[in-house]
Amino acid sequence: MNIQKEIEKLKKEKNAIILAHNYQLPEIQDIADFVGDSLNLSIKAKDTKAQIIIFCGVYFMAETAKILSPHKKVLIPVKEAGCSLADNITVQQINRLKKKHPNAKVLCYVNTTAEIKAKSDIVCTSANAVEVTEKVLKDEEVIFIPDKYLGLYTMRKTNKKFILHSGYCPVHVSIRKEDIKRQKRLHPKAKILAHPECLPEVIDLADKVLSTEGMCRYAKKTKFQEMIIATEIGILHRLRKENPKKKFYPASKTAVCPFMKVIRLKDVLDSLKYERYPVEVPLSVRLGAYRAIQEMLKVS
Ligand code: 13P
Ligand code: SF4
């Protein structure tokens, strides 16, 4: 039996679901029951009836699934799948920020550890940072953590001034405006789609600024046939699969997230077989993180 069939069989036997992020390797996306961005994966994890969730993404995403579905078994096939942006802020740093700005609300990007979420007032993803700010925090002083570029983009869209932390995603920051200009010269008819973690000078060149799911949705419905994609290149697999007649060009072929590429088919199979590696969040942390995520889900 080939590995895909073995995974399929075990998945049914164990009442398991495989969730994969849009940046995962093509073969992982192809065996997943659901492929999406951070927001949609969280919602799926919350709503699924499956008893086991195999989470193919990075650790903070699997942790979010566990926070939302504490009675389910959430497994990550490779536990070293981290995220350097999520690791960028420590509990001491957030405590210091809160002490310095005691009246400010903390808006926390989902790319953070559960401990950091538990210390925040509300979570957001790249898909809803603007919406959450406008609906919940319009009249508040806001500390935005940890991604300064998503923070800057949200400030621009909402005309608000945030207190920013200094974090950033090295993959998105590696995409330069020169990369976009080069692709635009090669493909003058192509629309430019950029992720809000990108540098402001890249955002300035974009026709649309979208989360990964937003990009997939836009690509399907637009009449435009060519698009330059300024985010991690793993998303190109889904874009091309769902839109075989359209053309997609990576803004930069080197925009590869090493953490998103560690999970292989064999790891997924072993994860199902041996039920490894379980993601656990201590109750004291989980309750706080759950509250902050729920605040987001209420509005988005
Ligand atoms: P999305 O929520 O847009 O999929 O982004 C996740 C991520 O890690 C971006 O770097
Ligand atoms: Fe983290 Fe950046 Fe990788 Fe997303 S692309 S998982 S933010 S390091």
Whether 93 is in the pocket of ligand 2, judged by its Cβ within 6 Å, is no
Q: What is the 3-state secondary structure (H, E, C) of 4-38?
A: HHHHHHHHHHHCEEEEEECCCCHHHHHHCCEEECH
The DSSP letter of residue 72 is S
R_g of the chain, CA atoms, integer Å: 19
Amino acid letter, 75:
L
Ligand 1 atom showing the smallest separation from residue 172 Cα: 10
| pLDDT at position 251 over 90 | yes
Identify the CA nearest to 164 among candidates 118, 97, 87, 90.
97
Whether 260 is in the pocket of ligand 2, judged by its Cβ within 6 Å, is yes
Ligand 1 atom showing the smallest separation from residue 232 Cα: 10
Question: How deeply is 289 buried, as exposed, middle or buried, from its count of CB atoms within 10 A (0-12, 13-18, 19+)?
Answer: buried
Ligand nearest to the CA of 259: 2
Proportion of the chain above pLDDT 70, given as a percent: 100
Identify the CA nearest to 239 among candidates 249, 251, 253.
249
CA 2 to centroid of ligand 1, rounded, Å = 31
DSSP codes, 120-165? SSEEE-TTTHHHHHHHHSTTS-EEEESBHHHHHHHHHHHT--EEEP
| pLDDT at position 300 over 90 | no
Q: Are 29 and 238 in contact (CB under 8 A)?
A: yes
DSSP codes, 218-263? HHHH-S--EEEEES-TTHHHHHHHH-TTSEEEES-TT---GGGG--
Q: Going by CA atoms, what residue is nearest to atom 4 of ligand 1?
A: 37
Q: Quick one: pLDDT at residue 42?
A: 87
* pTM check: above 0.95: yes
Report pLDDT digits (tens) over 23-73: 999 999 999 999 999 989 989 999 999 999 999 999 999 999 999 999 999
